[in-house]
Structure 1
Amino acid sequence: MIVRLPERSIATYLTLAFSGLTVVLTVALAEAIGAAAGDEIKAGIGQGLTELALQTADKLDRGMAERYREVRLMSRNQVLIAEDGPLDKRRAILNDRQATYHWYAWIGLAGLDGKVRLATQGMLEGADVSKRPWFRNALAGTYVGDVHEAVLLARLLPSPDNEPKRFVDIAFPYSDADGKPAGVVGAHLSWQWAREVQQSVMQFPQSAGGPAPGRRNMEALIVGGDSVVLLGPTGLQGQKLDTAAARAVLSGATGHTLETWPDGRQYLVGYAKTRGYNAYPGLGWSIMVRQSVDDAYAPVRTIQRRVLWTGAALAALFSVLGLLLARRLARPMAALAASAGRVGRGEAMAVELGDGGRHGYAEVTQLAGALNALVSNLLGKTEELNELNRSLEQRVAQRTDDLERALAQVRAEQRRVQTIIDSAQDAFVGLDLQGRITDWNGAAEHMFGWSHAEVAGKPLEDFLIPARYRDHYVKAMRGFNELGDADLLNRRLERIVVNRAGQEVPVEVTVGLAGSRDQYFFSAFLHDISERKKVEQMKNEFISTVSHELRTPMTSIRASLSMLASGVAGDLPDDTKQLIDIAHASCERLVRLVNDVLDIEKMESGKMEFDFQPQALLPLARTAIDDVQGSAAHAGVTLALEEGPDAAAACAQVDHDRLIQVVVNLLSNAVKFSPPGGRVTVTVERLADGGDWAVIRVADQGPGIPDAFRDRIFQKFAQADSTDTRQKGGTGLGLSICKSIVERHGGAIAFTSEAGRGTEFTVRLKAAGPA
């Protein structure tokens, strides 16, 4: 059985609900307004403390700047600093200056020997101040000294409050008539001056930023650059301050904060830092103005109470108005609800308003029409909805099956990739873009000694990177993330890493970038090349030993054959002389081979020494041409030196002998491969092609370099495979030596070649000033 309440009871419930909501909303709004106003007032109070700190800092800077200017002017006052001037007149100038600003505790002049020549009131005249910081610092170029306690003046100056005398020093050197340093003008400014500045600022109300905070319990502190309180409450003066505000202002910030101080009380603190003024550089003082929270926010609590009571009164008024309005609105809504209930129970097929709609209004009439349209469409849409539900269930089932199959395929692919990585013989390390380890296969565990669980999620540099390379590694990671520098990707590199035992391990590493755009990561395969390095070291040591052992007998043999070839033993038969010449030429070639091998070994071991000096390249080119002139004439080849653009200004920081060795090697190769009657040209020039370069070019008219040989032309023992090249002879080390020497100079060597028309080698060196 359904109990139907009278219309009047429903209206009453609606009006009571409306009135209750009105009360809650009004009170909540009043509370919100009060809170918002309180926040703004709090911000204004904090800003007021900040402005007080800024005003204090500005007054301190301006006051110090004025004293800074005055002392500097005194150091330039020719009457004051003249050693031969009347002593009384000069002392009167100092006394007058002290009288114009009573916080000058002492002003004096000291000679270069540290003896006080002249001082206010005659104090300390004749005293030795050479050990005092203000004297030494002024001569060293530092003209302002921070707060310190009096030393020599402690007994001479009165102290009514029995507190230790403290000064700020300002001192400038002065010069004699010849402009040479003659002494120092120094002034001790009483630190009581800062207390006067502090009190003068605190006496004036805040001019902007909201209501001025009450002056009750407001305290100002001056803190030095070492966080020690120079001026402030008795309990804090001389103490080192470590609070959030102190750290913030020490870093140069300006603002305010709410924090708990060492005394356990909460304070609102405004802070600012002195910046200097005009020529005065500043001493890095920090100004902090604090006030207890209870005193600072007392105006806020008063305003919030007023807002709350006003809100309560408005809530009561709106409740009465809402009660009257709700009763009027509830009548047609109740009739509409009753009619809609009949439709819902099937008693009617349309929604109708009671009393023919006389007590309704436009919105209720429109709502009744909309409900009727909804009812008429509802029956037609019900069947469509049922059909759509059946179709949707089928499609969801199909999509679920497809998703499960795709997920299974992805998981299988992940397992396959992981199996490949785990079974790889080389160590595999995966890193995210921040350098944290994400993957670490079994080979990596075996090679380095750490398990996957020990390294996962931790920075790579904490494990594998030697300490001397960590800065370079961090810079490389930053360069990739910030600048997109990908020069090291997909290249085979040799690097040094360390294992768990702290042993350095040479590895060959290939780094790639994998993953999707949202989840990129580095993949690195590391191959242990320790054995290969040992073999290379043994090979280099063997070559070095053999070369050194061969040089001594070869030198003797070359000298003996040279003497025989020059006729020291008399005229020799033609066939014997021919054999001697062949032996002498072969010996020369073998000596060059030994020297080239020794040069290569020195460069690879880092033992080749260079003496870099600014050199003009034209004289070096002429010297190299002279060295090769004999062999060129014997081969019927002409050597020519051409001066390109700004050739006379082509200078660079080079090792004279090594650069000549480079040019001689290039000329020898050019002569070797030039036909009889050919011409080899050496060009010197200075270019501005992407920089300032000094350039040497060596061009021949030979057959050119074969295409198949060009990629390895600068490799050790590299020679073209043609028969003609083998007949020319050579060690195959010359161009490799040239490349190493040029790169040690910070330059580059390159070539261009055209079949049948010759080859041109170019040496580019960073240009320097004239020698």
Structure 2
Amino acid sequence: MADFLYRLHALRPRGLAGYLALAFSALSIVLTVVVVAVVEREASRHVTQTIGHGLGELALQASDKLDRGMFERYREVSLIARRFSRADADLSHDGLRALLDDVRDTYSYYSWIGLTDLQGKVMVSAGGLLEGADVSRRPWFKEGGSGGHVGDVHEALLLARLLPQHGSEPVRFVDVAFPIYDLDGRPTGVLGAHLSWQWARDVERSIIAPLQSQRNVDALIVGANGTVLLGPPELLGARIDVGRLRVRHPGAQSGYALQRWPDGKTYMVGFSRSRGYADYPGLGWTVLVREDLDSAFVPVRRLRSYGLWSGVALALLFSLAGVFLARWITRPLMQLKREAARIQDGDGTALTARMRGYDEVQTLTRALNNLLLVLQRRQAQMEELNLTLEQRVEDRTQALAQALAAVQRNEQRIATIIETAQDAFIGIDLRGMVIDWSSQAERLFGWSHGEALGRSLGELVVPQRFQCSFAKALQRFHDTGHLGIFERRAERIVRDRRGNELSVEMTVRLAGADGARFFSIFVHDISLRKKVEQMKNELVATVSHELRTPLTSMRASLSLLASNAIDGVPDDARELVDIAHRHCERLVRMVNDMLDVQKIESGKVQLNRSMQPVLPVVRDAVAAMQGYAQQAGVEIVCGGSCDEALRAEVDGDRLTQVITNLLSNAIKFSPPGERVVVELGRHREGLRLAVLDRGPGIPADFRSQIFGRFAQADDEGVRRQGSGLGLSISKTIVEEHGGHLGFSDREGGGTAFHVYLPLAGSE
């Protein structure tokens, strides 16, 4: 192998003349290949269009002849029906049969023709075939009695054993039927005719047979459902996707296309869709005429062979001419090469003016002379530059020293700012290792600067239960480039050297340039603030618990008075009792809401979840709010299709609390006489529960704080009736179930609140 490569390398051209000769030969070969390819492509396109248009024209002629033939049969049966409508009513049974026999003998394409009564019983037929048979279920009888019918090709059913069979093909018909009327214009029956499908073979032979002696052409007739009705025996009854043929000619009734068929061959297929003729509506047939490409492209292959051999001859001729031309072109260059070698040997004199040749050689001679002068000038400059090099190096060194001093001053200034800041500063590399540790960090965590450097931040300050999340966050940053807490303050739990946990706010940013990036972390201790918030929550919880006992007694007493359990209460006092009862109920709800908020903030919310149907929970909540809705003049209805099979793992009491809060808000904001609609169904996110009202909607400036605690819009008389905690509590309960709560505007006015919960695993 090595010897072969050496010999091949030895055969390569040694000079410009050889390369030019090789270029001429290669160019002639490439030109030959391009010409042959272009000629073959154009010839193929021309032959394809010629054959395609010819086959499409044949298909159009056959389709037109089929439509005209069917029109003649359609008109014949219509005229025969009119003839029988005008026939003498007293004509005997044998007389009618004689007339039908005469019709069948006159029109040889009819395999069967007969008359039925209005109930579908064959009264008389040509040859007596099927007389007395019940054809009321046949499509030609049902549709023929309503004004005329022509049906698609089908195999014989009742007549299959009674009629002679032509060859191996099954007996097939095209049904044509028209109603029969008496002299007063009343329908008396149906005239039905079974047109033999053999007449389509005659159409095929009249158009395709003359062409088959010269070319390999097949004709097919395809029904509206894609079934081959007529064609080669191996394709009869097969299904063909005719729609694919019309892709190149959208909207056209005829055309052509290349298509690969199940036999593995590619055919040029011309097609034409039946459009009917005159009052014959057509049956949606498609006529296909196909020709094998192997026989169609014989002229193209001959032309390609001729072009290839012509190209080879031209390539050899150009190669010989290229050798002589290359030698003539390179003669001045060889002389120039000798002059250049003289200069290389140290002769600094310019090239002689006796150089002869074409313009390029003269230009190259002048360029070499100019280059020689420039080289001599540069050599003199180099000698002068060596004398001043030491001074320039000293100047550059001094400039670098000044820049380094400026960088050091800047670093010292940044370090001073960090050390005097109230927040602790920590710098870690992309692996999570500490690279900077301020004095505030030493005081906050108890680790000195030297002890912290080079250690993992997770081991130093992250509690054990959060270290796995810390490692996953770093890995997610390396995978996606996103840490999740950039550019915002986040509350976190950390620990100091003694293991005490601290509540802090921290800000993380990515700093540094490529190759030296690190995380800049500022930490602010908020432990004292958290203790104050805890004391506030405990005070609210204590006050709420202390209020529940007297409120319960007051609520029970006022309920007795409001429900007329005690007689003798004056009417004016009863109105005051109702007012006190309503406000007591409101106060109880506010205390319960505040207790729920205290449980949420302290993390004591416990959900007793179990797998259960969701619809009963919805119905219980709706039933509980019916009284409140009646007082407000609002109706609560279940809309849509509420699926009773929907199951989810939920806390029924807490979910009832969510639905009650949403219904309460919807009732408060709905005008009297309106409806509040509750919907329950499936969704791509699982289970979807919706409460829809026709209220005034949510103001744009209030949307961002609607789920906040004690959040209420400034709508007097309506929105100030609650504590402003219901939606916040409901959102927390839904999220504890693994779902989410949202809202949107309803078309036509109003608001829709949506609860999305995960379905049971079995669903």
TM-score (norm 1): 0.49
TM-score (norm 2): 0.49
* Larger Rg computed on CA atoms: 2
